[in-house]
Amino acid sequence: MKYMMFFLIFGLGFIFCQPVCAQYASQKEAAYLATVKAIADYKINDEETLRDVEKLRQDKRFNKRLQKMLDQLNNSKSKNGTNRRVYEILQRAGKELYDELS
């Protein structure tokens, strides 16, 4: 009887853990993306790079090329190969930054 209760409790714990584990993984992915964005924003406003960033913002050729790159991405089509690879690159970068700074 003890063993049956143990397996019952263990089985229910395993069944209910899966959604929680998936939610935790999703939150970690979101944390990594947020880390990349926050650090990028912080470094863009660094006085050493701010001047160069302002020049790029005024550069029409760069902006046109950047817009062309962004047009290749689409948040609604996450299964797209390019979207998936870009997302994975951002995840890896975010994880490395998160691990480095925490």
Per-residue confidence of the chain (102 residues) as pLDDT tens digits?
Answer: 555 554 445 555 655 555 555 566 778 889 999 999 999 999 888 888 889 999 999 999 999 999 999 888 887 766 688 888 888 999 999 999 999 998
Within a domain: residue 75? yes
Within a domain: residue 20? no
Q: Which domain holds residue 73?
A: 25-101
Closest Cα partner for 100 from 8, 43, 37, 36?
36
- The pTM score is 0.67
Within a domain: residue 64? yes
Within a domain: residue 19? no
Q: How many CB atoms lie within 10 A of CB 36?
A: 20
Within a domain: residue 7? no
Closest Cα partner for 33 from 78, 81, 69, 87?
87
User: How many domains does one find in the chain?
Assistant: 1
Within a domain: residue 61? yes
By the 8 A CB rule, do 35 and 91 touch?
Answer: no
Within a domain: residue 58? yes
Within a domain: residue 39? yes
